[in-house]
């Protein structure tokens, strides 16, 4: 059974720094892994989807990597901005019905 | 493609009342999922539909919860005799239903049970 973990639960960094968010999963036979952003009290915005055959995906200042053998994915944010402050969640689909199994998220605060 | 929409965005109700939420998926998507999210946690799966068929329900979905997707288009989630523990964000997502596909989420319905 897939389990997804995100550590740390919260992270605070000064504006302009590059940072890495971590996501671990237990089942390496993963179809894909998806990163989402959630602003307080809001819904989920999909950021990046990495297929199992891919090693990384990039969108603007965001780069997500996937290492199935170690059960890890990272989300790299370059040149962080206060507008990047949000909770970032990762999720992977189950094999049976593709429902997403979620980490609890990392709350990111970028200090001006 | 107007994205996934949910209505209402917020609902405040008294304990014991019934509530109903609606989700309109992306039109060509045949899969529709409902998730529930409580504060500080990731979403948890509730149920999903393939077209109009409800194929799986989580054990989180007690008999007070019912979901429908008539004609394989929009879906409704009804909670009867609401309890304070039902207070959460209810999220709807849709997809094409393949293992490589992205799930697209609506803005959610935030339920507060007083």
Res A95: pLDDT: 82
Asked if B42's CB is within 8 angstroms of A99's CB, the reply is no
Residues of chain B with pLDDT under 50: none
Q: Are A35 and A90 in contact (CB under 8 A)?
A: yes
**Helix-then-strand count for chain B, H and E:** 0, 11
Asked if A31's CB is within 8 angstroms of B44's CB, the reply is no
Chains A, B: CB contacts within 8 A come to 66
Number of Cβ within 10 Å of residue B100's Cβ equals 13
Number of Cβ within 10 Å of residue A76's Cβ equals 15
pLDDT in tens, A43-84: 899 999 999 999 999 999 999 999 999 999 999 999 999 999
Place of tokens 């609506």: B106
Mean pLDDT of A76-96: 94
Asked if the peptide bond before residue A8 counts as cis, ω within 30 degrees of 0, the response is yes
Q: Which residues of chain A are within 8 Å of residue B56 when distances are taken between CB atoms?
A: 96-97, 99
- Per-residue CA distances from A69 to A58, A72, A86, A101, B101 (Å): 21, 8, 29, 19, 22
Q: How far apart are CA B42 and CA A102, in angstroms?
A: 5
Q: How far apart are CA A100 and CA A89, in angstroms?
A: 11
DSSP SS3 for B40: coil
């Amino acid at each position: 059974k897939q389990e997804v973990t995100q550590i740390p639960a919260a992270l605070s960094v000064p504006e302009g720094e590059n940072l890495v968010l971590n996501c671990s999963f237990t089942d390496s036979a993963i179809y894909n892994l998806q990163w989402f952003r959630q602003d307080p009290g809001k819904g989920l915005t999909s950021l990046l989807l990495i297929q199992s055959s891919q090693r990384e995906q990039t969108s603007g200042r965001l780069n997500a990597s996937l290492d199935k053998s170690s059960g890890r994915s990272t989300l790299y944010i370059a040149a962080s901005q206060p507008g990047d402050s949000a909770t970032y969640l990762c999720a992977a689909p189950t094999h049976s019905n593709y429902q997403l199994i979620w980490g609890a998220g990392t709350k990111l605060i970028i200090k001006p | 493609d107007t994205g996934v929409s949910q209505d209402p965005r917020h609902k405040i109700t008294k304990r014991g009342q019934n509530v109903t939420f609606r989700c309109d998926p992306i039109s060509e998507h045949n899969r529709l999922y409902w998730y529930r999210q409580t504060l500080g946690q990731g979403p948890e799966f509730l149920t999903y539909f393939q077209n109009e068929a409800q194929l799986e329900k989580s054990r989180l979905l007690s008999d007070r919860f019912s979901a429908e997707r008539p004609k394989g288009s929009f879906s409704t989630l009804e909670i009867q005799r609401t309890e304070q523990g039902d207070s959460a964000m209810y999220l709807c997502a849709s997809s094409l239903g393949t293992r490589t596909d992205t799930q697209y989420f609506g803005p959610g319905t935030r339920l507060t049970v007083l």
